[in-house]
């Protein structure tokens, strides 16, 4: 709905309009010129007011002459890279993996400004077709190089019936005030099994935005793990669509925020057919004057009887100044379902901490042990040993303040 009064546009909004018009995305530009960036009045951005938080948009990124090495190395992984929105040359793909390119954006059109901007600015998409099960981890490094730049890029993945894969996306780049808008579209065929991990390791001055869209066929199994550990402002929007009977999704994520950071995971899981299930589980750890946000909505369609869906968010505050904001929602139109949601937030358990201290463990080490235990149920399901060790290293680095 268009407002009845003109919207006052800021520098960031005007820059986005100009960039979208230069790319020929006039409808997306018009949408911003009329509505502006979302504020707290937009429900899905209630805790992440982009009009206030996103004050400037740098110039569109230029092709990178030379891309740096991946920010995280996983031994044995098959590596691909998108640098400044441009797909880089890849090594020989494993059997059954077809690597290609497609023009334009990959996301389903919906009323979300980040989706509009990505679809309008992404010039090419990296495509992956997995014809059978893939043994090595597939790692896609998405980097923004050089001086401060605005980059929109896209990844599209098709997983064949009965195939399985572990896909890791890492986000990094040079130490500049980049704005990254990243899109991932993933379609899982019948009985496909996929673990999808996205890891933000961007510099503190970066604004990192990602939209992940999933479509699950009959019997498909999806596990996601979203980790925010780098950018000063980060937001990942998840859209899992349970479109096949017996489809199941474990949608998980972790906000790790320190002084001055703002991280947001927002999810809308759609159960469209009978006999589907999902178990969204998110955790947030905040220290210093920082903010972690988790919003989760479970939408059950009228025909989606026998849906089993439970949402949980757990927050751990390591300082008095930290903020953890949670908003679970249920939107249910069927009458034969088992659905629920919950949210908890608190400090480290004093009794557990006292127990460890009484055994002679230094306080800093004892606190680290408790935090690791809090995170464990998110990382333990990652079965690939090298990948699990790499993720543990990221968490340990954050705990040590690196």
Stretch (H or E) spanning 19? helix 11-22
Task: Note the pLDDT of residue 4.
Answer: 53
Distance CA 120, CA 392 (A): 36
Among residues 164, 187, 317, 318, the alpha carbon closest in space to that of 240 is found at 187
Burial of 22 (0-12, 13-18, 19+ CB in 10 A): exposed
Encoding tokens for residue 146? 């050089």
Task: Note the pLDDT of residue 5.
Answer: 57
Distance CA 209, CA 200 (A): 10
**Residues in contact with 200: Cβ distance below 8 Å, sequence separation at least 6, in sequence order:** 171, 208, 210, 227, 228, 229, 230, 231, 234, 236
Distance CA 219, CA 233 (A): 36
What is the CA angle 293-365-362, rounded to 5? 135
Task: Note the pLDDT of residue 258.
Answer: 95
Task: Note the pLDDT of residue 362.
Answer: 87
- Over the stretch 52-62, which tens digit does the pLDDT of each residue have? 999 999 999 99
Distance CA 241, CA 67 (A): 34
**What three-state secondary structure class fits 162?**
coil
- Over the stretch 352-381, which tens digit does the pLDDT of each residue have? 888 888 888 988 888 888 989 999 999 999
List of the chain residues with pLDDT < 50? 1-3
Task: Note the pLDDT of residue 1.
Answer: 42
Among residues 65, 236, 230, 86, the alpha carbon closest in space to that of 151 is found at 86
Encoding tokens for residue 163? 């195939």
């Amino acid at each position: 709905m268009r407002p009845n009064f003109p919207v006052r546009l800021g520098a960031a909004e005007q820059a986005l309009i100009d960039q979208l018009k230069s790319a020929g995305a006039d409808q997306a530009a018009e949408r911003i010129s009329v509505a502006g960036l979302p504020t707290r009045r937009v429900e899905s951005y209630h805790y992440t007011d982009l009009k206030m938080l996103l004050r400037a948009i740098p110039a569109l990124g230029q092709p990178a002459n030379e891309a740096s090495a991946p920010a995280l190395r996983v031994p044995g992984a098959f590596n691909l890279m998108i640098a400044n929105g441009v797909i880089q040359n890849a090594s020989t793909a494993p059997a059954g993996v077809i690597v290609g390119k497609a023009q334009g954006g990959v996301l389903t059109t919906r009323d979300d400004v980040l989706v509009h901007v990505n679809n309008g600015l992404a010039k090419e998409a990296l495509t992956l077709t997995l014809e059978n099960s893939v043994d090595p981890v597939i790692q896609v490094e998405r980097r923004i190089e050089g001086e401060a730049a605005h980059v929109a890029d896209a990844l599209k993945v098709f997983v064949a019936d009965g195939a399985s894969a572990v896909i890791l996306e890492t986000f990094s780049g040079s130490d500049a005030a980049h704005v990254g808008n990243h899109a991932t579209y993933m379609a899982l065929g019948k009985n496909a099994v996929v673990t999808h991990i996205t890891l933000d390791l961007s510099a503190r001055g970066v604004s990192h935005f990602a939209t992940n869209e999933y479509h699950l066929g009959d019997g498909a199994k999806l596990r996601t793990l979203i980790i925010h550990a780098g950018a000063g402002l980060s937001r990942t929007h998840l859209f899992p669509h349970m479109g096949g009977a017996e489809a199941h999704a474990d949608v998980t994520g972790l906000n790790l925020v320190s002084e001055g950071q703002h991280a947001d995971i927002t999810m809308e899981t759609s159960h469209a057919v009978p006999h589907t299930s999902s178990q969204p589980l998110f955790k947030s750890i905040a220290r210093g004057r920082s903010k972690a946000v988790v919003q989760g909505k479970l939408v059950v369609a009228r025909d989606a009887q026998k849906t089993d869906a439970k949402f949980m968010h757990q927050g751990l505050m390591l300082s008095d100044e930290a903020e953890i904001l949670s908003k679970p929602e249920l939107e249910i139109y069927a009458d034969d379902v088992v659905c629920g949601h919950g949210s908890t937030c608190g400090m480290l358990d004093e009794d557990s901490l006292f127990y460890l201290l009484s055994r002679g463990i230094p306080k800093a080490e004892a606190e680290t042990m408790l935090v690791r235990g809090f995170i464990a149920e998110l990382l333990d399901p990652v079965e690939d040993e090298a990948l699990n060790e790499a993720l543990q290293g990221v968490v340990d680095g954050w705990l040590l303040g690196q």
